[in-house]
Each structure stands twice: as C-alpha cells, then as structure tokens.
Structure 1
C-alpha cells in the first residue's frame, strides 16, 4: 500500500467513486465546484492506494482558532468497504498526525455523525475524544450532499 498527499484538483477528482461511498449523491460537477473553493483554503487530501486503486481517503485543512491556535481538521474520511479493518484508517490518521505536527498544530479536530458508532469506536481507538458539540442549523436541505 502507498500513501500520498493529493494537492491538485485533477488528482482529487479521480477519487470521486470512493467519495461516493460516503456521499452517494455527490456529482462530478458539485465535487469539482466544492474542491475549487476548498483547495485555495489549505485543503488537501491524503489517499491510500493499493495496486493503483484508491482504497482510503481523507480531506484535511488547517487554520487557526482563538482557543487553540493552529489546528488541523480531518474532513470526509472514508475507507473502501472492502478494505475496512485492515489498517487503512490508521495509516490515514498517522499521516495526518505527522502533517499536523510538521505544521505546528496544537490539535486535530474532526466531526463524526452522532449515529456513526463504528467511526466513534475507530476515533476513540486512535486517541480522539469528544471536546464539545458541533451544532448545525440546516438552512437548505436540498443543498446537502
């Protein structure tokens, strides 16, 4: 298995099918549109490949908050269904942690849906713990992916 950071729109767009395991309604047009706005805001993707196929991917970006200083955020974390429980997720979180340390981040943050208990267990096992609540007010249900 090979892990690498994706920084270009084209190489991220190539991974749409895996992203669709997380967001089945994601269209190519919407994905490209979102990425075009995200990439200039420090967004990259970390991807694990096996025999040329992307089997795990997470987005990440860094910023600064008053309470913590510089932080790195994990976003859109997905491992191909056929490769789960084989260490791919750990490869991704280990890579992200090294990146965060290199950037001088004080912490790594992420969101997991409250009903995604498998993800909760995985993140707990990787040393993550809830710090607070991420409140959401949906303004356009149709716009959600």
Structure 2
C-alpha cells in the first residue's frame, strides 16, 4: 500500500484538541517565531476570515503535513489561496505534500475556483522546486511594506 493511499485528510477547526496537539507544533516548524499564544489568536481570527486548516495523517495517526487555505473572490476570478503548506521534516519527499496539493486542487474545482495560488518566500528554493515540478508557475511578485504595528 502506498503512503498516499493510507493518508487521511481532515479539516481541523478551532476548539478541536488536534489544533493544539497536532497543527500548532507542525505550523511552528514552518513559522518558528509564532508563539503558542500568537498561534491561538491567529487560529481564531483567521478561521473567522475563512481560513481552513487541513491536516494530513498517516496510517499511524501522525500529523505529517498541513495546509491552510481559503477561497477568495478576486478581480482576477475566484481562487483557492494557500496561506501555508508544510510537511513534517521527517516525512518530506514521501508524496504527502503532493497528495495534499492534489486535494487542494480538487477542492478548488469543487468550489468553482479558477486557480490555486500561493506565496513562497524568496529564499525557500526547495519549495520553489517542489512547486515548479507540480506545474505551478511564478505569476507575480509579492511586495510588502511594514507599517510599524507589531513589527
């Protein structure tokens, strides 16, 4: 049996114990500066804005990957935007992230989206290779301007 056949994808909502026991530790591998308290505030606020937390579990019940995503209506059409996509370091290169991305792509189709979009930090070359191999292209540059609040 392949790893992806035994993969279980589950949306995890605020208040679900898996949010703190599974999702938060995995998210912090991607965003280590995010404190537990900041994560808890983020979950509540972002979920209210439509953010969905989809966790991937292996056959042993271990949370091996996570995607946070939301459907957005934009002037370029309806999109499924992936805020975060992270695989547990011990489970990388096993097909889990590919399966999760395929799930998000199908979810986008079902939701009437034209595209799946995501941002990736400029220094994250390994992620860029992963995205390119799976057919994602660089369509824009993402610019930021700090405004002094919380920085």
TM norm structure 1: 0.90
Instruction: Determine if the alignment matches structure 1 residue 61 to structure 2 residue 67.
Output: no
- Alpha-carbon contact 2:14-2:43 (below 8 Å) kept: no
Which structure 1 residue ranges, 5 or more long, are not aligned?
A: none
Q: Which residue of 1 aligns with 2:3?
A: none
Task: Return 90-99 or 8-17, whichever deviates more.
Answer: 8-17
Equivalents in 1 of 2:25, 2:50: separation in Å?
23
Structure 1 residue 87, shift from structure 2 partner: 0.2
Structure 1 residue 9, shift from structure 2 partner: 4.0
Structure 1 residue 32, shift from structure 2 partner: 1.1
Q: Which residue of 2 aligns with 1:103?
A: 111
Which structure 2 residue ranges, 5 or more long, are not aligned?
A: 1-6
4+ runs deviating over 6 angstroms: none
Equivalents in 2 of 1:40, 1:76: separation in Å?
17
TM norm structure 2: 0.87
- Alpha-carbon contact 2:8-2:56 (below 8 Å) kept: yes
Instruction: Determine if the alignment matches structure 1 residue 121 to structure 2 residue 124.
Output: no
Instruction: Determine if the alignment matches structure 1 residue 20 to structure 2 residue 7.
Output: no
- Alpha-carbon contact 1:3-1:46 (below 8 Å) kept: yes
